[in-house]
């Protein structure tokens, strides 16, 4: 069974860079039928798509975050990562990684990690 | 792109049916048949319940169904059960390899 696990610091200072990694197990990150994505949920708010990446490295970002976001993939480690620069308190959220279908379950996030709470505070 | 609009709450008694709406625009919900719905119990990973407007992944009870009319999609939960109590989110493809989510609806089983 596919599993995704987020990892990274739970506390980041304002103006610094938030970094998270998602490790994929039980399946191939190089499967051509899927993208991989990051989604976040600020406290008491809804979900927000941050961006997605294909195993080749092609990336797609939410226009509202594009200037601060970088998503990368390391297929040898079966990992993909998120970097968000110049963070503020508004970036405090639970960050989820997820698999995004291209053919089956087209354009739906069909497997998710448990989520990682990141707090931005000095 | 703006978030999709969902009612903050919905409720029903066991055995009843509940419909949760998700309103977008012609650039997302109305423009593509790529609406999906997620069930989220706090502290757990969200679960895909419906994709491509009406399709159910294997393992999802057929009590869950989806539909769309114009710029509004709907999740219908029939025969409500206690374990259906959760937050539900809709999502839609918004073109140019972008996705948008709704604000979420808290479903309470009375």
Per the structure block, which two tokens stand in for A90?
Answer: 């508004």
Check CB contact of A3 with chain B, cutoff 8 Å. Answer: no
Residue A43: its pLDDT value, please?
Answer: 94
Cα gap B53→B5, rounded to integer Å: 16
C-alpha distances in Å from residue A96, one per residue of A118, B17, B21, B26, B44: 11, 30, 24, 28, 11
* Chain A, chain B: beta-carbon pairs less than 8 Å apart: 75
B48 to A109: CB separation less than 8 angstroms, yes or no = yes
pLDDT tens, position by position, A15-58: 999 999 999 999 999 999 999 999 999 999 999 999 999 999 99
- Residues of chain A in contact with residue B52, where contact means CB-CB under 8 angstroms, are 105-108
pLDDT tens, position by position, B44-93: 999 999 999 999 999 999 999 999 999 999 999 999 999 999 999 999 99
Average the pLDDT over A71-91 and give the result: 97
Q: Which of B4, B34, B39, B99 to mutate to test the interface with A (most CBs of A within 10 A)?
A: B99
Q: Which residue has the tokens 């792109």?
A: B1
Nearest Cα neighbor of A39 from B53, B96, B4, B99 is: B99
From B40's Cα to the closest Cα of chain A, the distance in A is 11
Nearest Cα neighbor of A37 from A8, A9, A64, A6 is: A6
Of A62, A108, A113, Cβ closest to residue B36? A108
Which residues face A34 on adjacent strands? A101
Residue A104: its pLDDT value, please?
Answer: 79
B45 to A107: CB separation less than 8 angstroms, yes or no = no
Of A47, A62, A113, Cβ closest to residue B89? A47
Q: What are the backbone angles phi and psi of residue A22, rounded to the nearest 5°? A: -115, 120
Q: What are the backbone angles phi and psi of residue A80, rounded to the nearest 5°? A: -135, 150
């Amino acid at each position: 069974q596919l599993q995704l696990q987020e990892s990274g610091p739970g506390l980041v200072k304002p103006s610094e860079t938030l970094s998270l990694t998602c490790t994929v197990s039980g399946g191939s990150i190089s499967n051509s039928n899927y993208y991989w994505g990051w989604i976040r949920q600020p406290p008491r708010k809804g979900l927000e798509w941050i961006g997605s990446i294909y195993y080749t490295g092609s990336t797609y970002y939410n226009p509202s975050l594009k200037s601060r976001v970088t998503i990368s993939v390391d297929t040898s480690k079966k990992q993909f990562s998120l970097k968000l620069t110049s963070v503020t308190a508004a970036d405090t959220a639970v960050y989820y990684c997820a698999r995004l279908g291209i053919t089956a379950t087209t354009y739906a996030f069909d497997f998710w990690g448990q989520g990682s709470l990141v707090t931005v505070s000095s | 792109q703006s978030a999709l609009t969902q009612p903050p709450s919905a409720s029903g008694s066991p055995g009843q049916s509940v419909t949760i709406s998700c309103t977008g625009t012609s650039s997302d919900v109305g423009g593509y048949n790529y609406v999906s719905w997620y069930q989220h119990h706090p502290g757990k990973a969200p679960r895909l319940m419906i994709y491509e407007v009406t399709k159910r992944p294997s393992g999802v009870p057929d009590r869950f169904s989806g539909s769309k009319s114009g710029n509004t999609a709907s999740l219908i939960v029939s025969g409500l059960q206690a374990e259906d109590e959760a937050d539900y989110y809709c999502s839609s493809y918004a073109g140019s390899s972008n996705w948008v989510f709704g604000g979420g609806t808290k479903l309470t089983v009375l």
